[in-house]
A and B are shown apart, each in its own frame.
Chain A
Amino acid sequence: MKFTIEWLKEHLETDATNAEIIDTLTMIGLEVEEVIDQGARLKDFVVAHVVSAEQHPNADKLRVCKVDAGTGELIDVVCGAPNARTGMKAVFAPVGTYIPGSGFTLGKGNIRGQASNGMLCSGRELEISDDHNGIIELPEDAPVGISYPDYAGMNDVVIDVAITPNRGDCAGVRGIARDLAATGIGNFKDPVIKPVPSDAGPSPIPPLPHRFSEGEPKAIRKFAGRLIKGVKNGPSPQWLQDRLRAVGLRPINRLADITNLISMGWGRPLHAYDADKLVGEIHLRNARSGERLEGLDDKTHSLDETMCVIADDSGPLCLGGILGGEPSSCTDETVNIFMECASWDPELIAQTGRKTGIVSDARYRLERSVDPQLTEPGLELATKWVIDLCGGQACEPVISGEDVIPEPVIDFPLHEVTRLTGLKLGLPEIKTVLSRLGFWVSGSGDFVKVAVPSWRPDVTIKADLVEEVMRIVGVNRVPVEPLPRLSGVAPKMLTPIQNRRRLTRRTLATRGMNEAVTWSFISSELAEKFGGGQAELKLANAIASDMTDMRPSLLPGLLAAATRNQNRGLSDVALFEVGQVFVSDAPDGQRNHATGIRTGTAGIGGAGRHWQGKGEKVGVYDAKADLGAALDAFGVDIDKVQVVAEPADWSHPGRGGRVQLGPKVILGWFGELHPALVVDFDLDGPVAAFVIDLDAIPEPRRKATRAKPALDISSLMAVHRDFAFVMDKNVEAANLLKAARAADKALVADVTVFDVFEGAHVGEGKKSVAIEVTLQPRDKTLTDEDIEAVSSKIVAAVEKATGGTLRG
């Protein structure tokens, strides 16, 4: 909301400087967004005397002028304006002046062989009017050489403040002045609005009937209208035009300008109809579906039955509280007007505003609520201005409907101010602030009663009054006080899942992976491919077609990121994300996943070719290693959980697996991305991926103490023995290891695989797996016989479990 300091001072008597006013506005909650010093913008334009204006020798439409701009010498100026003539006073811009209406800085010129060292300006070039038919003509007595804004009194400062949605009362200069006055910066000037005599007698237009059925939305509360006869419309006086232009409004004609003046000045929107264009009975009703309104915004709007209109027999005249209609609007020829000042339901105005998308000054105010006590006074004020500027005589006002005027009285313990803010204020100060804002405070003890004025429907409870007091005395006066500590040393603050996410991130980053944060929503197509796409997880109003479904997996986002990177020339990337995925729309349907991908050659050793290695393509074992490292970070040993060859749907069917604590507790998946998906994502090379369901991992059992179990090591040397078995290619190594470990649980301390190979010499469809078994004696050194015995047990167990044979 824009206003000028001069305008403000019509409602505020103050000696404060502009800077003080601007500062105070922000500190009481009317945030100043912009300050425009109009004079500064036009300071280079000066009043000048056109000493002579003669025909340009080489151009019919140009004149060569000698201009006296008070500099002591005559300046040559070539001018194309038809009204440029000898002896006139005009507005002159010397070389170097920025011309706001044209958007350039004036340079020296030479126009068809004649020097031109400046410009005589039109109103449009100064952005003070739309006139560009000729240059500005000033009165003969205008003093040469003085700055034009000084001469024209255009030195006003324009302030733009942001009005919060609760402060409809500050959507007018008067309300802003009242708020400022409450701080003691000046006195609020609020002249009484006197009724204008109804010299034209009873109104031929009867009070407007409200035609609404039971249960229909009814935006109109009270409608006040008045017929004013015999007015003369036309351009407004210059001061009014200047004022409206300063706040960003285009002057139209006196009648329209008056409604804008009262809307901006008093926060009281009005509408003036050309009474001679009204047909039959004017009434209030909801629009019929399909009805249209040709608006003053030069657009045609479709209306529906939730929107209140002011209509006559020909149809809607005006979309109530939001937008006037073009056909019934006032023109320069208008003689009789019907002025409207009505009270509306803010919520319904807001609803209609949103539905139609119309942004208007009336909607801005009425959806924030306008003082319901200002309906009839607003109409009187409008009538007065019309008669003052346009002449004419008013008929008696016609009023219909009832307004809602809540007049709450709040029980206010003064201690509430201290309780909520820490400010210690006495009754006199609290009372002064509230009274200046228009509240009535009664009582004198620690508990008072506060009556809320009609223009402050936002104030309903004690806390609202505390805010009023605090914002006017200033938040800066609230003493800063440390928040007491609840305990000496802060206890643990993260939950297990929060810690897990943190640890996973750091662990994966130490493995050379980069953390990505990708959108929570993906396309339907991808969601369905990765196990999602449920109706309950689809947005009704997605911002883009590839952001429609809540993600069931972090993989598609990472793969899409890999594609983007590849398209920028980075085909070897290692990315991970730790974040939420959605299996349903319930709170527990949101799960925490950690997912990573490596593409191309981006293994843990680094990507690309290198003299130390050939840059091998990533594969399933890279993914398994990442997953294992992440699980290890929170104490899950991948060798002690089940790793099964049950690949995820996204995985290469022969190169993927699952980590689980049993078929029902699945901790994660790993594998090479299915080649079909590699193609779908337009990726070049293999992708190694893993997924961890962080919520699935059981919390470790809490022990009574933090002490670790005693270290148990044997003083006897361990013995190592190697075995190689030939078995079917499809036999899983896990079976072999399990059998070897179980062969003699007391002696076998560890089993590792140190060689795996296939080839003609081990047989078609076979493989050789070599293991090293560590035997750890506990109470005596092993004899050859002991070793022989345990070796036989191992061979027998492995052969039985795998169907393989010991290689000779």
Chain B
Amino acid sequence: MSASLTELSATLSQEIAAASDDAALEQVRVSALGKKGSISALLAGLGKMSPEERKEQGPAINGLKNDIAAKIEARRSELRAVALEKRLASEKLDVTLPLRPAPTATGRIHPVSQVIDEITAIFSDMGFAIAEGPDIETDYYNFTALNFPEGHPAREMHDTFFFNADEKGERKLLRTHTSPVQIRTMENQEPPIRVVMPGRTYRNDSDQTHTPMFHQVEGLVIDKQSHIGQLRWVLEEFLKAFFEVESVTLRFRPSFFPFTEPSMEVDVQCDRSGNEVKIGQGSDWLEILGCGMVHPNVIRAGGLDPDIYQGFAWGMGIDRIAMLKYGMPDLRAFFDADQRWIEHYGFRPLDLPTLFGGLSS
């Protein structure tokens, strides 16, 4: 290579290395390889040379051209890498900045709805449908059909809310229990009947464990052979599943309800020594529900013959079993809609109680 080519190569190489951005590099490329560039001029000069000269200079100039073009490309990649690095550095964000919670993280289901879903999950597996009835009832469905005689003290123990009498002198009332749904179900459905009946109930009473409105769930089985032995099984299985324990010990105490005969109250064995009630262990008893064989008069009121059909029923407080399972101390707070209470005691929207996924997470 001639001295002049060597010098040009050195100069261009230096200029390429010195180019600090794409534009400067382009300028170098144009000055060397552009139409009027230094190397282009040399290449154009080849035509005027003698064949011998061309044979010598040709490869040298072309070599220089390729070398410079490669250097420019290399420098371009280098510059791009640097530029990307710089951009990336400038694009850094503070990923520790907190975001808003997802809507699913803030929305909550009320414990009463959750517990009704749990009850539904268990009993639907046992073949029970969900039945419902109106909150505003007649005296007939709430009392008479359920074998509460007129003027009987048991009626008065219900602290009933009444509406004003209509022109016929009949006064409706707010159901004091979910039991009227037993009658409505028997009127509308052929046995075998297996239903659970959750719903709102009302009594004129208020303190830490009583509110004028509360929730009950009632169960009813009517067929031609169901008896107390099966009632015991249903309740044991339910309570075990509901409280999510290996076993429960129940104590059935004979008692009195107008709509069942025989009637029993059921206590569950538990440990009340700490702040929480632990079901399935301990040596204390806690009254949890009432039950019995449906009274023949009630079966008759449902339009069935009590010598052919028989069955059992039970009832318990939904709010109460919710409090026992999840530890809410005060029933009144259930109906206050204090956002802090719902956030604390409520359930995640997708905490769907199922038997396959578990009742609670």
Contacts and interface: CB of A to CB of B under 8 A. Distances in A.
Interface of A: 26-29, 31, 164-167, 347, 350-351, 354, 367-368, 418-423, 461-464, 466-467, 470-471, 475-476, 478-483, 485-487, 490, 493-495, 498, 502, 505-506, 508-521, 535-543, 547, 550, 557-558, 561, 564-565, 568, 570, 573-575, 578-580, 582, 585-587, 589-590, 604-606, 610-612
Contact of A480 (B124, B127, B192, B229): B229
Contact of A490 (B127, B166, B262, B310): B127
A422 B230 contact: yes
Q: Size band of the B side of the interface?
A: 35 or more
Contacts of A537: 136, 163
A494 B337 contact: no
A540 B171 contact: yes
11 contacts: A347-B149, A466-B293, A470-B254, A487-B127, A494-B130, A511-B103, A514-B106, A515-B109, A521-B213, A543-B204, A568-B340
B163 A540 contact: yes
Contact of A165 (B134, B157, B236): B157
B326 interface: no
Given A165-B153, A463-B261, A481-B230, A512 B103 contact: yes
Nearest to A421: B228
Nearest to A550: B136
B349 interface: yes
Most buried by B among A165, A578, A586: A165
Contacts of A510: 103-104, 107, 349-350
Contacts of A495: 130
The 5 closest A-B pairs by CB, nearest first: A422-B229, A29-B254, A467-B262, A561-B337, A512-B103
Contacts of B349: 506, 509-510
Contacts of B212: 519, 521, 543, 547
B254 A476 contact: no
B17 interface: no
Contacts of A606: 100-101, 103, 106
Contacts of A167: 256
B245 interface: no
Interface string B205-223: 1100000110000000100
B255 interface: yes
A38 to B, nearest CB: 24
A585 to B, nearest CB: 5
Given A483-B234, A494-B120, 5 more contacts: A28-B254, A471-B254, A478-B252, A514-B343, A520-B213
Given A505-B113, A506-B349, A568-B338, A540 B100 contact: no
Contacts of B228: 420-423, 470, 475, 478
Contact of A611 (B97, B136, B232): B97
A482 to B, nearest CB: 5
B253 A570 contact: no
Given A490-B125, A538-B164, A539-B162, A516 B252 contact: no
B229 A486 contact: no
A27 B265 CA distance: 10
B337 A470 contact: no
A278 B239 CA distance: 62
Given A486-B194, A516-B337, A420 B130 contact: no
Contact of A536 (B163, B263, B352): B163
A31 B338 contact: no
Nearest to A576: B107
B150 to A, nearest CB: 8
B253 A27 contact: yes
Given A476-B252, A575-B337, A483 B107 contact: no
B260 to A, nearest CB: 9
A350 to B, nearest CB: 5
A540 B162 CA distance: 5
Contacts of B161: 539, 541-543
Contacts of A502: 117
A482 B229 CA distance: 8
A230 to B, nearest CB: 41
Interface in B147-206: 149-154, 156-157, 161-164, 166, 171-172, 174, 192, 194, 200, 202, 204-206
Given A539-B162, A612-B99, A513 B107 contact: yes
Interface in B306-361: 310, 334-340, 342-343, 346, 348-350, 352
B130 A493 contact: yes
Contacts of A538: 163-164
Given A480-B232, A539-B161, A540-B171, A580 B262 contact: no
Contacts of B236: 480
Contacts of A509: 104, 107-109, 348-349
Contact of B261 (A350, A461, A516, A590): A461
Nearest to A345: B151
A518 B335 contact: yes
Contacts of B229: 421-423, 478-481
A736 to B, nearest CB: 31
A544 to B, nearest CB: 8
B104 A517 contact: no
A558 B337 CA distance: 8
Contacts of A494: 120, 124, 129-130
Contacts of A505: 109, 113
Nearest to B107: A509
Nearest to B155: A350
B73 to A, nearest CB: 38
B132 interface: yes
A806 B206 CA distance: 66
Most buried by B among A483, A518, A539, A606: A483
B135 interface: yes
Nearest to B229: A422
Given A543-B212, A587-B133, A520 B107 contact: no
Most buried by A among B107, B255, B350: B107
A570 B339 contact: yes
Given A490-B126, A516-B342, A368 B153 contact: yes
B213 A367 contact: no
Contacts of A493: 120, 123-124, 128-130
Nearest to B225: A419
A31 B112 contact: no
A199 B336 CA distance: 71
Contacts of B255: 29, 31, 164
A480 B162 contact: no
A564 B336 contact: yes
A517 B124 contact: no
Contacts of B164: 535-536, 538, 540
Nearest to A508: B107
Contacts of B337: 514, 516-518, 557-558, 561, 564-565, 575
